[in-house]
Amino acid sequence: MPQARIGCSGWNYSHWRGIFYPPSLPTSRWLEFYAQNFDTVEVNATFYRLPTHKAAEAWARATPDDFVFAVKASRYLTHVKRLRDVGEHVPRLLEPLDPLAEAGKLGPILWQLPESFHRDDERLAETLAALPRMRHCFEFRHASWFVPEVEELLRDHGAALVIADHPARGFQTRALTAEWTYLRFHQGRAADGAYGRGALRAWADRLGTWRQVGDVYAYFNDDWAGHAVEEALYLRGLLAEPPGRIH
């Protein structure tokens, strides 16, 4: 059966000390501890700054063989260049990630576009054609992108439309455009932005259905108060994944 990998958007949050990480655990061991509880993580730091080879090698060493890193593309490509000349610049994005790829731990590349970036089919098509053959997913934050023509472009290249849950983006659809699915949980509907158990059970039903089609990657981005950790572990349990081993 295809896998459902569920984790958090990042692991290096100082306010998780005492909530998730033991108070005495040094930060240098946080990824190792995180990987005892989850089999995947979404790396958001690459949006701001690319890692060094040395850092990527350390990530690979700190995690089990079956661990997967989803990596967010640099904001230089999505927000500054706005997908112009991606083919020219994407090698610079991927080269520092070679240690993860060589270890078999490099998962999807997440392309998050800014809210001000309106639909541009030509630029999207050029980008998709220029990307290397691996899993790519696109998170659109302007309503104009959510049309059948864009879905078809993604589908033609095996790229996934990111299902990004946020109360302010009612235009978000749940269309599947690839033989795998990518979800981002940004903010729940509770007063503090958390996802309640009822909401998570509803999402578990959806993920269970999508897993029949192909692999599912799901990441919780509501890191405040440790919500992301608690919710990701709970959703894993609902999908009968191995339970987290929090010490």
Domains of the chain by residue range: 4-238
Where do we find the tokens 């731990």?
105
Best CA proximity match to 42, nearest among 227, 245, 230, 219: 219
* Whole-number Å distance between alpha carbons of 88 and 81: 11
- Cα of first residue to Cα of last residue in the chain, in angstroms, is 30
Helix (H) or strand (E) holding 200, with range, is: helix 197-211
Sheet (strand 40-43) strand order = 160-161, 136-139, 106-112, 68-72, 40-43, 4-9, 215-220, 180-185, 163-165
Q: What is the pLDDT of residue 246?
A: 33
Specify the higher pLDDT residue, 1 or 64.
64
Average pLDDT in the chain: 95
Q: Which residues contact 58 (CB under 8 A, 6 or more apart)?
A: none
Average pLDDT over residues 70-92: 96
Residue 239 pLDDT > 60 = yes
Burial (CB < 10 A; 0-12, 13-18, 19+), residue 116, is exposed
Helix, strand, coil percent values for the chain (each to nearest 5): 40, 20, 40
Right CATH for 4-238 from 3.20.20.410, 3.10.20.600, 2.40.10.350, 3.40.50.1000: 3.20.20.410
Band (pLDDT 50/70/90 cuts) for residue 36 is: very high
Sign for the CA dihedral angle at 127, 53, 114, 208 comes to positive
Residue 116 pLDDT > 60 = yes
Average pLDDT over residues 160-174: 97
Tally of residues, the chain:
247
DSSP code for 241: P
Q: What is the pLDDT of residue 240?
A: 72
